[in-house]
Structure 1
Amino acid sequence: MNYLIGEYECKLDTKGRMVVPASLKRQLPDAEREGLVVNRGFEKNLVIYTRSEWNKLLGQLARLNQFQPKNRDFIRKFMSGATELMLDSAGRVLLPKALLEYAEIGAELVLACNLEKIEVWSKVKYQESLDGVSEEEFSDLAAQVMGGFNFGGDENE
């Protein structure tokens, strides 16, 4: 799969439907045929997966030893709320009310592409999360997270 890119501000209609932006939809060529899956995120947000990425994730979860209580608890919590999304003829998806409430998403939201998935945030919460890391902290974080990588280049590069 190609990695997804972009950040999109969207609005929900009164029924909880969101139009998938055209430039994002172009990055999801199989979404109309296979659908998408939305689930709770780890930070009071939602996460949308393509069906193929969701199936890869389920394959990883299926390998966990379910005789271990921590594994069962994680799987149960992670899977709660997972819902299939289908695009309608107008290119909209209906986001489940319970998930919108979990993520405290109102009429305005942000779709933030994150590698192979799409994070769905309340517009206000998304901005708060970005503002929560200063430029200096981001620079330090980059050094900690990415500083040890050899990006395949020559040592002199």
Structure 2
Amino acid sequence: MSNFLGEFDCKLDVKGRMMIPVGLKKQLPEAVSEGLVINRGFEKHLVIYTRKEWDKIVEDLSKLNSYEKKTREFIRYFTRGASELPLDSAGRVLLPKSLLEYAGINTDVVLSCQFNKIEVWAKDAYDAQLDDEPENFANLAEEVMGNAGRGNNE
């Protein structure tokens, strides 16, 4: 599994192309040969995966019970808009217009690395989300991470 690091400010050109920042491109050596996949995020943002990570996700989805309506709906909504994202010779990617509209992205973009994926946010939406940081981040950390690694013996 890839573990990406960093936060990068980018701009889209008039055609919707984005230059992959050098610091991120160094973390994506397989992207040129294997390609990337972009998809909708759960919030109003986009998510970029390496082709290898996307294939793992698709494999997990294919194991779900497609006879259940909620499963079919989830798969349909989760994969809606998923697109290949090849790099051109200049190191740019063309973000699909429908996905840009979904995420409210116009020109200014923030790429936020999250473990095996790269979140793509409209800069104003990303900044607004971070402005909503909980009053007591330590309490949130305890709630989310407090029992990590201990198991639930209750």
**Fold match, TM over 0.5?**
yes
Equivalence for 1:67: 67
Q: Would you say the 8 A contact 2:134–2:140 is kept in 1?
A: no
Equivalence for 1:101: 101
TM-score, structure 2 as length reference: 0.94
For structure 1, the residue ranges without an aligned partner over 5 or more in a row are: 152-157
How many Å apart are 1:135 and its aligned residue? 4.8
Equivalence for 2:140: 141
- Identity in percent: 57
Moved over 4 A (4+): none
Measured in 2, the distance between the counterparts of 1:135 and 1:32 equals: 42
How many Å apart are 1:149 and its aligned residue? 2.4
Measured in 1, the distance between the counterparts of 2:88 and 2:17 equals: 10
Measured in 1, the distance between the counterparts of 2:122 and 2:78 equals: 20
Equivalence for 1:119: 119
For structure 2, the residue ranges without an aligned partner over 5 or more in a row are: none
How many Å apart are 1:106 and its aligned residue? 1.0
Give the SS at the match of 1:102: helix
How many Å apart are 1:2 and its aligned residue? 3.2
* TM-align CA RMSD: 1.1
What do the CA deviations read for 1:91-134 (whole angstroms, capped 9, x no partner)?
Answer: 00000000000000010010000000000000000011111113
Measured in 2, the distance between the counterparts of 1:80 and 1:34 equals: 21
* Structure 2 counterpart of 1:142, one-letter code: A
Equivalence for 2:26: 26
TM-score, structure 1 as length reference: 0.93
Give the SS at the match of 1:18: strand
What do the CA deviations read for 1:76-103 (whole angstroms, capped 9, x no partner)?
Answer: 1111100000000110000000000000
Measured in 2, the distance between the counterparts of 1:84 and 1:145 equals: 34
How many residues align structurally?
Answer: 150
